[in-house]
Amino acid sequence: MDDSTAASFLRDVRHPLLALHRAVLAHLRTTHEAEFGPVSPGEFLQIVINGSAYRWLSPLSTLIAAIDDVLDDVLDDDEATPDARIGHAKAVIAMFHAETRDAALAERFLPLLQESPDIAVANGHVVQVVRGLRTQ
């Protein structure tokens, strides 16, 4: 994979990844509120960030933030390099490939595909972009 392919792939997959992340967070918030009562969006965000119950979501959240960093053309630091873009593109592919996905993420994420149609559809969009790259 070269830098141009990686950058194009990251631009294509960024929005579907964000949609998937939003769908997962919405589902988790609904589940949390059913058990513990209503919380504001800010309170739930703090629970996700600071609590251990949602730590499994960290690889996806971190990868999305890293993609934003390497696609930002105005960065003055060393994050937006060809190697970084290629590395993050490979990380996305690995995250959505059965043999290479993070076990902790998969253990909690895969059941959500059965529980939430929104998550299943959003995941399908990400997988479609990933498969499109792998067939090139």
Query: 45-88 pLDDT, tens per residue?
Result: 999 999 898 999 999 999 999 999 888 765 555 668 889 999 99
- 9: Cβ–Cβ under 8 A, 6 or more apart, which residues? 89, 92, 129, 133
Q: Residue 43: inside a domain, yes or no?
A: no
65-87 exposure pattern, b = at least 16 Cβ within 10 A, e = fewer = ebbeebbeeeeeeeebeeebbbe
Would residue 25 count as lying in a domain? yes
The pLDDT tens digits of the residues spanning 111-122 come to 999 999 999 999
Residue 44 located in a structural domain: no
Distance CA(95)–CA(99), nearest Å, equals 9
Task: Please name which of 133, 126, 94, 125 lies closest in space to residue 1, comparing C-alpha atoms.
Answer: 133
Spatial distance between the Cα atoms of 88 and 91, rounded to a whole number of angstroms: 5
Q: How many domains does the chain have?
A: 1
Greater pLDDT, 101 or 73: 101
Q: Is residue 45 part of a domain?
A: no
pLDDT of 133: 80
What integer pLDDT is reported at residue 31 of this predicted model? 95
Q: Which domain holds residue 122?
A: 3-37+51-134
Is residue 16 included in any domain, yes or no?
yes
So what's the pLDDT on residue 136? 56
- Residue, of 2 and 104, whose pLDDT is higher: 2
